[in-house]
Amino acid sequence: MFCYQCEQTAQCSGCTSFGVCGKDPETAALQDLLVDVCKQIAVKAQAGGRSREADLFVMEGLFTTVTNVNFDPDDIAMVIRRGAKLCDFEPAADMDGLVKQGEAVGIESRKNTLGDDITGLQELILYGLKGMAAYADHAYILGKEDDSVFAFFHEALASLKQDTPTVDALFSLAMKVGEVNLTVMGLLDEANTGTYGHPVPTPVNINAVKGKAILISGHDLKDLALLLEQTEGKGINIYTHGEMLPCHGYPELKKYKHLVGNYGGAWQDQRAEFEAFPGAILMTTNCIQKPKENYKARIFTCGLVQWPGVQHIDNGDFSPVIEAALEAPGFPETEPEKNIMVGFGHNAVMSVAPTVIDAVKSGALKHFFLIGGCDGAKSGRNYYTDFAEAVPDDCAILTLACGKYRFNKLEFGEIGGIPRLLDIGQCNDAFSAIQIAIALAGAFDCGVNDLPLSMILSWYEQKAICILLTLLHLGIKDIKVGPSLPAFITPPVLNVLVEKFNIAPTTTAEADLAQCLGN
Ligand code: SF4
Ligand code: SF3
């Protein structure tokens, strides 16, 4: 196998014998094959064979191969066979044959023929498309879609099948992924806020409440809404985990009294946290890790997430989760309440814009830092905690995605009544951050790059890639990315990114902070 699509890839170069994430070589080959089938469907679509089924297949197929989503080879094989019917691909009759077909279209074969730079750029585009597919799927589930987005998936995937790609063409395509992803994040924003209302600043209890419990993780708001409806009046408390935390700010979700709080931290701590959680657990999207035996019977997956041997719910009926929660002991005691704040989406921040602008003009608020992105397990990520802690008191921190857990339980205080730490939401709420930055630039009559704003991003999986491409498409410069740079970005490609966007790897919190503040 060869996979280098995420930040924790082995030796910062590629997983070759087994995925650090837990992906085995068989699943890796099948994921490569599934991606290739998506490309073949796209080629056919470009030749006039586009269909609704092809649109949806490509979106879900790509999302299936995002890091930490689907680890079940049997399920992926089934998806490949379904996809083969939408193009001219002949799938092998058995699993061994499918794995061989996957190995033949893997990254290594292309690295040999096209070289590392071209292959790396192709993968940059592919990973951006994978992240975008995840967001498009969330929006689609809530009834929002855009034909031009589906058309672009085909256009981009079909170009990745070309035999003689050029660096320039691939680079423009990568920027186009960023552009289309902005549309997709906008669609998802409309879907989430249109269905559940605009998030409002809301305190969230991070301590336990006595009673039976279900923990829900991932990004899919509809799954949470369904779970809340189905558990109402059943004496079960619902806790959010990981990227579900921002859901507490949505009026149509926070109205449920049994949505009692947030439990645990980011995805990479789940094995210890889920073991200790005295109830049932529902994984709605990435990031699942290999479940421990002692909670395997009380963890469930839904949507595109799957783990072999873990019960999957695909009809929106969460009765098995509810039964498992009722069988589990629940929390024996209520702990003293401890709150953190969420709900600072673009609507909430815009509503206090005059106060923010006055604070900047008076010099009370000197600089904004956007510190966020995907969290991960590798050492070096305490950089983000150190950075947030070192931000001077006259500066505000905007945060989003699961990287916030590095510092969101620390005390940051306020500036003129505005909290210094503003939790904008999930990773896809980068859309909100962009709207806020554009509005601020408008208010100060300058460009986003001229604002007293620095972006310090952490990356882990492919959704961070599509967001990064969106920021680059918008021409945003001086972004700092860490804790390490993607293995698929080769030195010549990095040089181009540095030249055009002054993108820089994170160094030390102290040095980077000083540089951002011009000290
Ligand atoms: Fe390795 Fe990441 Fe690929 Fe998993 S997804 S196999 S950890 S590079
Ligand atoms: Fe985190 Fe997976 Fe990406 Fe949505 S939950 S940000 S890593």
User: What is 10-195's CATH topology?
Assistant: Substrate Binding Domain Of Dnak; Chain:A; Domain 2 (1.20.1270)
Q: Pinpoint the residues of the chain covered by CATH 1.20.1270.20.
A: 10-195
Closest CA to 464 of 104, 96, 124, 108: 124
Taking residues 140-145, report their average pLDDT. 98
pLDDT at 252 over 90: yes
pLDDT the model gives residue 126: 98
Q: pLDDT for 475-493, tens place per residue?
A: 999 999 999 999 999 999 9
pLDDT the model gives residue 23: 98
pLDDT at 519 over 90: no
User: What is 344-516's CATH topology?
Assistant: Rossmann fold (3.40.50)
Q: pLDDT for 25-41, tens place per residue?
A: 999 999 999 999 999 99
- Where does the pLDDT of residue 377 fall: very low under 50, low under 70, confident under 90, or very high at 90 and above? confident
Residue 411, C-beta contacts closer than 8 angstroms, at least 6 positions apart? none
Q: Is 374 annotated as a binding residue?
A: yes
- Where does the pLDDT of residue 380 fall: very low under 50, low under 70, confident under 90, or very high at 90 and above? confident
φ and ψ at 365, to 5 degrees? Answer: -120, 110
pLDDT at 314 over 90: yes
Which one of 7, 13, 15 would you pick to mutate in the ligand 1 pocket, going by the greatest count of ligand atoms within 8 A of its CB?
15
Cα separations in angstroms, 227 against 119, 232, 275, 291, 315: 42, 8, 21, 21, 12
Nearest ligand 1 atom, CA 7: 2
Instruction: Give 363 Cα–ligand 2 centroid separation in angstroms.
Output: 35
Instruction: Give 16 Cα–ligand 1 centroid separation in angstroms.
Output: 9
Q: Pinpoint the residues of the chain covered by CATH 3.40.50.2030.
A: 202-327, 344-516
Q: Residue 106: nearest ligand to its CA?
A: 1
Residue 17, C-beta contacts closer than 8 angstroms, at least 6 positions apart? 1, 25
φ and ψ at 74, to 5 degrees? Answer: -65, -40
Name the one residue in this structure whose structure tokens are 């873990």: 310
φ and ψ at 435, to 5 degrees? Answer: -60, -40
Paired tokens of 302: 């839904």
Q: Is 395 annotated as a binding residue?
A: no
- Where does the pLDDT of residue 286 fall: very low under 50, low under 70, confident under 90, or very high at 90 and above? confident
Q: Is 516 annotated as a binding residue?
A: no
Asked: is 202-327 a CATH 3.40.50.2030 domain? The reply is: yes
Instruction: Give 239 Cα–ligand 2 centroid separation in angstroms.
Output: 18
Alpha helices in 65-212 (DSSP H): 73-84, 95-104, 107-114, 116-141, 147-159, 167-196
Alpha helices in 207-292 (DSSP H): 221-231, 251-254, 270-276
Strands 259-262 and 236-240: parallel
Angle between helices 462-473 and 491-501 (to 10 degrees): 40
Q: pLDDT for 317-370, tens place per residue?
A: 999 999 999 999 999 999 999 999 999 999 999 999 999 999 999 999 999 999
CA 260 to chain centre: 24
Ligand 2 atom 6: residue of nearest CA? 374
Contact, 287 vs 68, CB < 8 A?
yes
Contact, 113 vs 164, CB < 8 A?
no
Q: Is 15 annotated as a binding residue?
A: yes
